[in-house]
Structure 1
């Protein structure tokens, strides 16, 4: 049996990853060691690597991960549903370990609990070095919510579950009832495509999409969008008003100008949910009177609650043959070629790049 793991360590922005051999950790109570099956490069990984946001150096990036349980601290370990976990189970997990006794966790915001530990975002230390997806193994801490993966999901379909799809499940939860509502998804990268399909499956009357890239906008039609608009070119109101206007907008781009534009598209009583604003940006210009008179709501989601990941897994389990999610991982690299993989992801052209450990 292996005694060492291999990790690609992030040192500083745009600096080549460093290959490091790391001895297997001693597991504390409630911890696991997972042998990584597959991981994908998320846009937030690119933000970190290319210096668009501040993050810890000497860390293992990557949080869209699935793996096989290789070692457990005790035999009595269970997943989110109370199912017994065993060595050899293929699992995914929340992108964080949280303190269930913290004030925010008790309020229903475990993703904002004190001393939150986020995989793929933390600095390495003596006790926790295998803390991200771009490695052969990942060391999971206590109070990480675990899920057995359905056998009918491929690695390519399953890897983005604990970030992309769980985040969208959380955004739609905040949006409220979707049945008979008109939904616009602004920005149809990976998050947006997930939002189109999930909103469609949850009973939205109409799902529309909008993007600056005509190819991305067009591709959203394969994921449940009824009509696609080009940002700055297509007239949305004339197309949507006959159907009652736009009730909910899921905004994934994070662009302040796009957010301000979206507010003006909402019908009376509409809700705007922000999920893409996760990098430094200017303040928004919002008119309070306009919000009040039009009964508008703005909500933000950062990360998600464990129940959102459960929703995402159930969604992909049921819908993975209906929508081409597997095709979104456009190219796969071996872990040893991680630098090339990041360069390819940064150049665009693929929704996700996969990494084989």
Structure 2
């Protein structure tokens, strides 16, 4: 077994503490990664706080992982010691079902293995990237392009693919009008990616306080949703709306902004249900859909796309001792736009 330093939480109302965890000895297709940076995702907070159901504590969150390969199993062919790599939201899947065979491991019919708060094929609870090392099977390791710094790469492994996948699937491109709801960790990535895909991009945020940032990142328009006139002005406008917020909103009001055959795709995951009036859908042949990260192939495609178009998240580096404070600031929307933990401070 391999010992790793970590930050763990013991309950929904408990602070993070120093911990030592065990990583498995490498199997023939495993890769050992020395983690350099780990991003903080809102999903980490939901899970640590028990918002999405029971959690097996102690928990080490973190599924935005960037680091360096330090050892490989005997049958590993894709990676070697010294390679720059990343790990996202999942670390394994059955590899045999229809979803896995289509490179959509996130929808594995037998259930993929989550990077943390999951159970791996050895029957062990998985622990995430708020730690110094992780062991992952080769197929679920991503190559980080040389042009992307490791600290900036970390959030791409969740925030990047979470927004790239629906934009790619629903065809954001030249001539399409795309709206991004929320200008946070996910939203600021969606703006950059949609712009690079050639779409006309509009940000829909509660206020205009981040307008300058949004326009600099590639938005063509920026509206405050606290102003009800916004919903009148933009009615029947968009081909695609990406909702990135993890809070309950009036989804019917946003559906009214879709044009004919438009789609509203939810990537934010609020703990509370969202009520949809069927007339919001049938008037205009509209669709309300959801999207959940992307498969490994698409995640690598996203990393290469971001490298090609010079897309990186806006980050704030913190130490391991600042995780609790960072969680509070995320909940208060006080971050521009993604916290990243410097794992050397473990």
* TM-score, normalized by the shorter chain, greater than 0.5: yes
Aligned to 1:14: 13
SS at match of 2:186: helix
Q: Deviations over 1:110-129 (max 9, x none)?
A: 21211411113336999756
Contact 1:100 1:143 in 2 (8 A): no
Q: Does 1:137 align with 2:133?
A: yes
Aligned to 2:272: 281
Q: Deviations over 1:291-320 (max 9, x none)?
A: 234121222112222233123212321233
Q: 2: distance between equivalents of 1:127 and 1:138?
A: 16
1:111–1:221 distance in 2 versus 1, CA, 3 Å: same
Q: Does 1:291 align with 2:281?
A: yes
Shift of 1:169: 1.1
Aligned to 1:306: 296
Shift of 1:262: 1.0
Aligned to 1:212: 206
Q: Does 1:342 align with 2:341?
A: no
1:223–1:239 distance in 2 versus 1, CA, 3 Å: farther
Q: Deviations over 1:203-246 (max 9, x none)?
A: 11x211111132234421121111111113163466557xx821
Aligned to 1:76: 76
Shift of 1:31: 1.4
Aligned to 1:82: none
Unaligned 5+ residue runs, structure 1? 79-84
Shift of 1:98: 1.3
Query: How many residues were matched structurally?
Result: 339
Contact 2:64 2:88 in 1 (8 A): no
SS at match of 1:257: coil
Which has the larger displacement, 226-235 or 17-26?
Answer: 17-26
Aligned to 2:254: 262
Q: 2: distance between equivalents of 1:112 and 1:63?
A: 17
Contact 1:8 1:18 in 2 (8 A): yes
1:10–1:124 distance in 2 versus 1, CA, 3 Å: farther
Which has the larger displacement, 207-216 or 230-239?
Answer: 230-239
Q: Does 1:235 align with 2:229?
A: yes
Q: Does 1:355 align with 2:346?
A: no
1:115–1:91 distance in 2 versus 1, CA, 3 Å: same
1:10-89 to 2 correspondences below 5 Å:
10-54=9-53, 55-74=55-74, 76-78=76-78, 85-89=79-83
Shift of 1:254: 4.2
1:311–1:126 distance in 2 versus 1, CA, 3 Å: closer
Which has the larger displacement, 295-304 or 158-167?
Answer: 295-304
RMSD: 2.7
1:47-196 to 2 correspondences below 5 Å:
47-54=46-53, 55-74=55-74, 76-78=76-78, 85-96=79-90, 97-106=92-101, 109-113=104-108, 114-122=110-118, 128=124, 131-141=127-137, 143-144=139-140, 146-196=141-191
